[in-house]
Amino acid sequence: MPIYEYTCNACKEAFEKLVFSTTVVVCPACASPDVRKKMSTFGMGGGEKPSAGPSRSGAGCGSCSKGSCSTCH
């Protein structure tokens, strides 16, 4: 059940909608069915990037507590 971003062609309202396979999307502001799905970017919460080499604490990876991990080469 993805959430899509839409723009209403009638009133220009931008909105998001949880879409099921049978969902008919209408604008929440003016109830127009004349909407366009926006191209959205995929976003993820940020975290720190793994270090390029061994950390100073002696562990193999600076971004996790393991001695080594697949993200540190």
pLDDT in tens, the chain (73 residues): 688 999 999 999 999 999 888 889 999 999 999 999 998 666 655 556 555 555 455 445 555 665 556 655 5
Cα 29 to the chain's mean position, in Å? 25
pLDDT value of position 21: 84
> Does residue 8 belong to any structural domain of this protein?
yes
> Does residue 73 belong to any structural domain of this protein?
no
> Does residue 57 belong to any structural domain of this protein?
no
Give the structural domain span for 20: 3-37
- Angle 6-2-14 (CA atoms, 0-180°, nearest 5)? 15
Report pTM: 0.52
Q: Report how many domains make up the chain.
A: 1
> Does residue 9 belong to any structural domain of this protein?
yes
> Does residue 27 belong to any structural domain of this protein?
yes
> Does residue 56 belong to any structural domain of this protein?
no
> Does residue 23 belong to any structural domain of this protein?
yes
